[in-house]
Amino acid sequence: MDPDRSSPSPVPVLHRLPTHVPGLDIVLGGGLLVGDTYLISGKPGTGKTTLGNQLAFAHAAAGGTVLYATLQTESHDRMLAHLHGFTFADHALVGERIHYISLHGSLQEGDFDGTLHLLLTTVRQHGASLLIIDGAGAARMFARSRFDVGRFIHGLQTRTAFLGCTTVLISDQREAAGAATHVDGIIKLTNKPTRARDTRWLRVTKLRGSDYLNGHHQFAISTGGIAVFPRLEAAYSALEPAWHEPEDLLMFGIPGLDGMLGGGLQEDSASLVFGTPGAGKTLLGLHFLTEGAQRGERGFLAGFNETPPALASTADRAGMEFSPHLDAGLVRVMWRPPLELAPDEWAWQLLAAVDAHRPRRLVIDGLSDLLPLFADPERQSRYAPALANALRDRGVTTLFLLEIDAFVGPALTIPVQNLSATMDNGLLLRSVELDSSVRRVVSVLKQRQIEFDPTIRELLIGPQGLAVGDAFDATALLTGSAVPTSENGGGIAPA
């Protein structure tokens, strides 16, 4: 080796500090970087202080030590009293792993150097690994010049980094402007009206040394504190579900339909079942789950309208043995009314439930109930494929039930643009008018890698649930207004 040439210094590894705030670490790419300085900004009432205290208690609960400094006139006792309703606030940690100090007096005198010295001394004294300064933007009120705040933050940033202490500044949105250029990361909180309700959004606008999920992500504040719901398409944009040759086909237990499908659905596939109201979509989903349960397979139904008892009653009246599997826990139901519901919140709850139950079969009844809940309707065509891929990656075979509003008509339009292209299989159930009566038909429009029967057949609801009849003796069935092709009027015998 040439003695005049020194070997390059090893690149330091940037370690992560998890926030333990649900969903936030996904947005941040794993958490904060140890020793960096971050800014949480937003208007009053957006949840900044709640987030700051949640970070503190979560870090302390994980074994870390926190110094929480305030520039607010509100006393610490009053602040802790306001946190009493949150389950994350374990007051036994206060004074043990969480230490509160006030900076209002020292900064009011314009003593930035003294304030910096106080902070660093207290960080060393307690061995703090997380420093939170709430109301940091108010320091501008006491600065003698516009350079004081920048110099204070820069001095704080370099010294806390040396101590291995991560710093979080919390500031009003207007007061945060002077600090933005000096920090390593910026998290903005907003609360915007969406039609008749307000929606909370979190957005990362800067994050040095780390990739993160860009754009706006909805969050909510409940008794558990803040929970962030990353946009599904952003979280799973790079996901490539593992491919394996299907070992088995999953049957519905409806002989005529399984025959049309060439034996059943492929494992880990996503199928779109769309049709008119009352055409039998929910019953079809219940058949799918019941057939799996009878084979010992776990099932899961995520719905928005019928509660678990109502679904059990529907299945029982149709002659399916669904209730015993529901009572035994082999099949589970997640019911959420489609009212004050965020699509991403629901999706992450569903994925968590799937991870816990690990079903082989899943029915989502119905995807159409989620569509009106999107603040940005253009997201619908990206959201559904992301959800389908996340479920494929978990080894789940999924039926997405989607309703078509029109009972009859020449147009056959799927409400979500390009949705059918992302699905492996497509089944259509619809009502048709023939000879002054309404009848149901079923057809397989698409099935990947398996030959299927494209014949349009009658779908019958009887004492044993659904049954599939022979081919219709009629034309124009998919318009909803059928035309008989023979004198018998399109009579059909069950298969």
Distance (Å, whole) CA 210 – CA 77: 37
Average pLDDT over the chain, rounded to whole? 85
pLDDT value of residue 63: 96
Residue ending a domain, choose from 177, 202, 230: 230
pLDDT value of residue 406: 60
Pairing state between β 437-447 and 185-194? unpaired
pLDDT value of residue 149: 67
What percent of the chain lies above the pLDDT cut of 90?
A: 52
pLDDT value of residue 102: 85
pLDDT value of residue 475: 61
Distance (Å, whole) CA 135 – CA 319: 63
Residues ≥6 apart with Cβ < 8 Å to 9? none
Assess whether 160 and 257 both reside in one domain. no
pLDDT value of residue 345: 95
Assess whether 385 and 302 both reside in one domain. yes
Assess whether 148 and 256 both reside in one domain. no
Does residue 493 belong to any structural domain of this protein?
no
Assess whether 341 and 310 both reside in one domain. yes
Strand partners, 36: none
Task: Quick: pLDDT tens for 415-473.
Answer: 666 677 788 999 999 888 777 677 888 999 899 888 999 888 989 988 778 999 888 76
The domain of 193 spans 16-230
- State the CATH number of the domain containing residue 407: 3.40.50.300
Distance (Å, whole) CA 186 – CA 168: 10
Assess whether 202 and 329 both reside in one domain. no
pLDDT value of residue 437: 75
Assess whether 220 and 271 both reside in one domain. no
Residue ending a domain, choose from 200, 230, 260: 230
Owner of token pair 């009212």? 339
Assess whether 172 and 292 both reside in one domain. no
Owner of token pair 């799937």? 354
Does residue 235 belong to any structural domain of this protein?
no
CB distance 188 to 46 below 8 Å: no
Does residue 440 belong to any structural domain of this protein?
yes
Assess whether 101 and 202 both reside in one domain. yes
- Report which DSSP code applies to 464: T
Give how many domains the chain has, as a whole number: 2
Does residue 8 belong to any structural domain of this protein?
no
Assess whether 407 and 463 both reside in one domain. yes
pLDDT of 346 above 90: yes
Local confidence band at 154 (pLDDT 50, 70, 90 cut-offs):
confident
Does residue 479 belong to any structural domain of this protein?
yes
Local confidence band at 329 (pLDDT 50, 70, 90 cut-offs):
very high
Q: What is the number of residues in the chain?
A: 495
For 221, list phi and psi in degrees, rounded to 5: -115, 120
Assess whether 201 and 292 both reside in one domain. no
What percent of the chain lies above the pLDDT cut of 70?
A: 83
Assess whether 158 and 29 both reside in one domain. yes
Distance (Å, whole) CA 281 – CA 288: 11
Task: Quick: pLDDT tens for 198-248.
Answer: 889 999 999 998 899 999 999 999 999 999 999 999 999 988 887 777 778
Residues ≥6 apart with Cβ < 8 Å to 326? 308, 311, 312, 332, 333
Distance (Å, whole) CA 368 – CA 93: 46
Assess whether 94 and 138 both reside in one domain. yes
**Average pLDDT of 302-328?**
92
Residue ending a domain, choose from 195, 230, 265: 230
